[in-house]
Amino acid sequence: MRTIRTVAELRTHLRSSRRAGRTVGLVPTMGALHDGHLALIAAAREAADEVVVSLFVNPTQFNDAGDLDAYPRTEADDAVAAADAGAHVLFAPPVAEVYPDGFASEVRVGGPLTERLEGAHRGAGHFHGVTTVVTKLLNMVGPDVAVFGAKDAQQVLVVRRLVRDLDVPVRIEVVPTVREPDGLARSSRNVRLRPEDRAVAVAIPRALDAASSLLADGERDAAAVRAAAERVLDDAGLRPEYVALADPATLAEREGALPVGPSLLAVAVPVGPVRLIDNVELVVAPSAAGADDPPSTGGLQAATAAG
């Protein structure tokens, strides 16, 4: 695997790869690689001949300077992990390479997709930072396919909209969330959990499971399903920023009886010094619904398939 730090060197390298007829896959990361990232690299290897893993802690998507400062930076370990997973290039630019002196541009996705859930709690500027750096990475790498994780479901929707609206010639693939043995979603922030916080954090996947189980038992009222997750978090002493049961295409909150098809149950929960997010798709089967119920607008995969 080759480590590259400048856009000029990256483009020169990839130009020769493309002349040889090789397709290119991109796995955008902020480093501190874990099994979830390795699953993204594996998917990129299946989809493309050459895999570029970007490693860049993007300052413009942090609304909390303390969170930015505390974000783990482990490039040496990341390089080993990426190489072992089969990546061909680790693109690890310094901040000045991505945002040079005088940088004054921003790429925004407006509307509800960036205003709800994470946008409502972290500010829409968080997603403007995401969409700006993703646009730059897509322009720098020019990949045939870019791979993202389903844990960041809202980010996937926003990136799909960006790619569609700006006619970016890239296919977006989504890989299911990778979890710890006890169900906690893999996250680079997990390393910052103190032992006592880690013991409590398992309430997050248990909350999602409680809602899923209630739905499986026949409950279709959105408020009741949402409350099942909230009770588990409350019993663990956790105070979530949000527990949202939403349309997986628009993120509009579900009310009343859940429609046939998927809904997205998403949570953001502070645990000690760390803010964790997670989500699960809940599906109402046609056999569990009345004949007059309208269908859902579709799940994360279906709703974003045009990207």
Q: Specify binding-site residues.
A: 30-37, 61, 149-152, 155, 178, 186-189
Annotated binding site for (R)-pantoate: 61, 155
Annotated binding site for beta-alanine: 61
**CA–CA dist 255, 130 (Å, integer):** 30
**CA–CA dist 173, 23 (Å, integer):** 15
**CA–CA dist 212, 216 (Å, integer):** 6
Name the 3-class secondary structure at 146: strand
User: 37 catalytic, yes or no?
Assistant: yes
Choose, from 13, 37, 126, 128, the residue flagged as catalytic: 37
- Nearest alpha carbon to residue 236 among 204, 210, 208: 204
**CA–CA dist 178, 167 (Å, integer):** 30
Vertex 279 angle, CA 271 and 219, to 5°: 110
Annotated binding site for ATP: 30-37, 149-152, 178, 186-189
DSSP string, 20-83: TT--EEEEEE-S---HHHHHHHHHHHHH-SEEEEEE---GGG-S-HHHHHHS---HHHHHHHHH
Looking at the annotation, which residues are catalytic?
Answer: 37
